[in-house]
Amino acid sequence: MVRHVLFVCLLSLCVVAHSSAQDVLRIGTTALPPTLGNPYRNTGTPHIYTWSATFDGLTRIDAQGDLQPWLATDWETVDDLTWRITLRDDVTFSNGVPFEASVVVSVLDYLTSDAAVREAVAREFSFVRTARVVDPYTVEIITKVPTPHLPRALPLLHMVEPGQWKRLGADGFAREPIGTGPYHPTKFSATKIEYDAVPTSWRTPTIPRMEKIAAPEAYARTQAVLSGQMDIALALGPEEAEVIADAGGRGLSWPTAAMWAINFHHGRGNPLDDVRVREALNLAVDRRGLVDGLLAGIPELPTQPAPSVVYGFDPNLPPIPFDLDRARALLAEAGYPDGFTFVVQGVIGSGANDAAMYQKVAQDLSAIGVIMEIRTFPVSQLIRSVMEGGWDGDAFGVTFAAEPTVDVLRPLRNHSCLWVHPWYCDERIMPTINEALVTFDVEKGLALRHEVMRFYREEWVALYLYQVVRFAGTRGNVRGFSEVNGFVSYEDIHFVDE
């Protein structure tokens, strides 16, 4: 409330331009990709928002979780190990090179090579054996094992111009990327990426130039919109979005295919190894109070590590109750009647009201004698720890993110034994996960996914909190902004007269 009053008091000092003739779109975000323009190194937020300005995958997943064509117009199985993909025939890269089947083969040749060992996307396509050109606009992808989910993975298969990639290599390409998207990066710095529009893109933009600006604090991004220094501020909280709307701008919010959680490091010989303790922590959090107080009551509350829009969500799992008496009894049964202390590492500023969220969870857990010590760290360290291990705490905050495939199995590539440096690995559920990944039987695949969700619920693998809801704010003359499963349709953003 103090910050809200401060914002209102500052509104008289804010001067917002209203010209529809503005030729630069300025977007504020929490951080820029540390790998610049290499779309294969990182797959999570906030970096994934950047890729759709310059690159396209072969398919898209819509807001309802349904698979849609994109650079690919059709796909079918030839046999259990072969997918035949039909491509658009009207797409060129920003340097004029045509997009054809040979590009897909070139990309997959790289991602399946030893040279791609550092690329996160390469791990996503480890099931690919090879690819081959059928004709200029048809490609076949041959897999090592049956891969029924392949079309839902194709949003991650961003197309890069193969000549530029071959000439410069991965690191050189990252500084001079060329894609099929509506904007071409012209300059990278620590806090800004500058772009020129690509008028020949199949997704033709309307604004001549764009800037992506890194500003870690939501307060700073909000003030920048109010003062006209930014046109769009991403990763706000509901309070900041409301303040922008009150000042004549637009406050936006939308649910995602991700569930926010505090993830436990298992197998460290501490209280969190006991399923009764993990259940107790889940029962001790007042989720309704949390989302009503901090997130405008918008997020869906969890029953499992996926929101209801995600394919494989089990609708039969009941809500997680708020039950302090049961939580205390479970702690006592596990041998911790007086509670215990554990350390959570958390990134602050990357999600809506995340600092207040950690404080609220810590306050709730204190009611059962559990002390949750919060240690903040930057998003760069979070990414490094996920990729390499080397955690300093007992738990950490991160999503079960089903974007962009919108399948409950997507986050389990990290949150299971499938991950190279797992924080959770239980071999009992791996046969079910592995079978779900390879079965083409739709009913069986769905039943297996439900079984996985029940296991993760009953084992209380993490402290499940709420569906991730994103908030943003724009100046009043901005229209057309949307983000769906990590994809921003930059070509639709435009300015209007007010």
Which CATH number goes with the domain that contains 337?
3.10.105.10
pLDDT tops 60 at residue 14: no
How sure is the predictor about 486, in pLDDT bands with cuts at 50, 70 and 90?
Answer: confident
pLDDT digit string (tens) for 343-378?
999 988 767 778 889 999 999 999 999 999 999 988
> In which domain, by residue range, is 219 found?
2-54+181-249+475-495
CATH of the domain at 231: 3.40.190.10
CATH of the domain at 129: 3.90.76.10
pLDDT digit string (tens) for 430-472?
999 999 999 999 999 999 999 999 999 999 999 999 999 889 9
Q: Residues 393, 280: one domain?
A: yes
pLDDT tops 50 at residue 20: no
268 in Cβ contact with 314 (< 8 Å):
no
**Average predicted confidence (pLDDT) for the chain:** 91
- The verdict on residue 15 lying in a domain is yes
pLDDT tops 70 at residue 6: no
Strands 82-87, 138-143: pairing is: antiparallel
pLDDT digit string (tens) for 249-264?
999 999 899 999 999 9
Q: Residues 348, 438: one domain?
A: yes
pLDDT digit string (tens) for 54-83?
999 999 998 888 899 999 999 999 999 999
The predicted structure's pLDDT at residue 405? 84
- The verdict on residue 175 lying in a domain is no
How sure is the predictor about 217, in pLDDT bands with cuts at 50, 70 and 90?
Answer: confident
Q: Residues 458, 491: one domain?
A: no
- Which whole-number Å values give the CA distances from 328 to 333, 343, 371, in the listed order? 9, 20, 14
Q: Residues 103, 206: one domain?
A: no
Which of the residue ranges 15-19, 221-225, 451-455 would you say has the lowest mean pLDDT? Answer: 15-19
How sure is the predictor about 5, in pLDDT bands with cuts at 50, 70 and 90?
Answer: very low
Q: Residues 155, 203: one domain?
A: no
390 in Cβ contact with 337 (< 8 Å):
no
Q: Residues 100, 6: one domain?
A: no
Q: Residues 411, 456: one domain?
A: yes
The predicted structure's pLDDT at residue 18? 39
pLDDT tops 60 at residue 109: yes
pLDDT digit string (tens) for 119-152?
889 988 999 999 999 999 999 999 999 999 899 9
- The verdict on residue 174 lying in a domain is no
494 in Cβ contact with 270 (< 8 Å):
no
Q: How many distinct structural domains can be found in the chain? A: 3
Q: Residues 40, 141: one domain?
A: no
- The verdict on residue 443 lying in a domain is yes
pLDDT tops 80 at residue 92: yes
Q: Is the dihedral of CA 464, 42, 110, 160 positive or negative?
A: positive
Give this prediction's pTM: 0.80
